[in-house]
Amino acid sequence: MPDLKRFLVAGEWRSGGDPFEVKSPYDSEVVATVGSPSPADVEDAVAAAGSAFDETRKLPIHVRAAALDHISRRLHERLDEVAEVIAREGGKPVKWAKVEAARAVSTFRWASEECRRWGGELMRLDTEEALGSRMGIIRHFPLGPVLAIAPFNFPVNLVAHKMAPALAVGAPIVIKPATKTPLGALLLGELFCETELPAGMLSVLPIGGSEAGELAKDQRFAKISFTGSSQVGWDLRGADPKKAVTLELGGNAGVIVHSDADLDKAAQRIAFGGYYQAGQSCISVQRVLVHDRRRMPVSEAVLIAQPVDAVVEAAERRP
């Protein structure tokens, strides 16, 4: 059995209790055994994020940018290792796991670059005579601690999409990765600990969905960032209507095969769109709509190409 994988609470790696197994969807092999945060661990993480905000919101840009650069560089140095983690815990082909790992490298680099450019905006107010020659300065400030809930299918880059912007603006963040794929987020936690950022700025808690739902109501979080199913996302949105919430919800991607389409190419692309990333993509092909003129030949091609759960709308009836 693999050694126990610990989780991160404000710079401290903890074991918690009642560990759970992370199994590969490919062969059901146990990839890791991960400790479960206790209610006390969760409280410590949230409290640390709240108390760290007074410091993190004042961090100089060069400190934040340097930390993001470091994480990006280290991800690049460990690219093959990161891809292996993604592939083993998520069942994704190594080819696509490497693409995801490379995208995470870019995500942290882009956050660093935007951090340096993020200087506010100058607005002219002399458009009306009554305003004289006044100028306005628009500045942005971090809202406060962030609760980030990530899905299983992109266990590194979709965590990076939440973590990198939060660090860039100086907002502490508590990350709840999917319990099926927590290892990528924990790896990003390791890289965070190599930086000079305050320890309370990041915690990674592999807790269950119901516990995350309770956290969403915690007034110490000023912002929720959620990627996942529509029902859960809207439930979280309704948990506290006054809280800033960003939702990236389930897709319903369709393909239209027009009357002048190249049928062989269409079938190939539909098959690719349904099965790439081992089908673990929110934009995988889920519906195929075929122009009435091509319904007979295309239906045969689509039956070969369609994903298992696709709905083929081929309009079998004539007007």
Q: Which of the residues are catalytic?
A: 248, 282
For residues 24 and 91, give the distance between their C-alpha atoms in angstroms, rounded to a whole number: 6
- Angle of helix 157-169 relative to helix 61-77, nearest 10 degrees? 160
Cross-strand pairs, 286: none
Range 180-211 burial, b when 16+ CB lie within 10 A, else e: bbbbbbbbbbebbeebebbebbbbbbbbeeee
E strands along 205-243, which residues?
223-228
For residues 317 and 319, give the distance between their C-alpha atoms in angstroms, rounded to a whole number: 7
E strands along 163-318, which residues?
173-176, 202-204, 223-228, 244-249, 254-257, 287-290, 311-313
C-beta of residue 205 within 8 angstroms of C-beta of residue 183: no
- Residue 30 is classified by DSSP as E
Residue found by looking up tokens 């962030």 in the block: 146
E strands along the chain, which residues?
4-5, 7-9, 12-14, 17-23, 30-36, 121-124, 135-138, 146-149, 173-176, 202-204, 223-228, 244-249, 254-257, 287-290, 311-313
For residues 165 and 140, give the distance between their C-alpha atoms in angstroms, rounded to a whole number: 13
CA dihedral 113, 114, 119, 124 (to 10 degrees): 130
C-beta of residue 141 within 8 angstroms of C-beta of residue 171: no
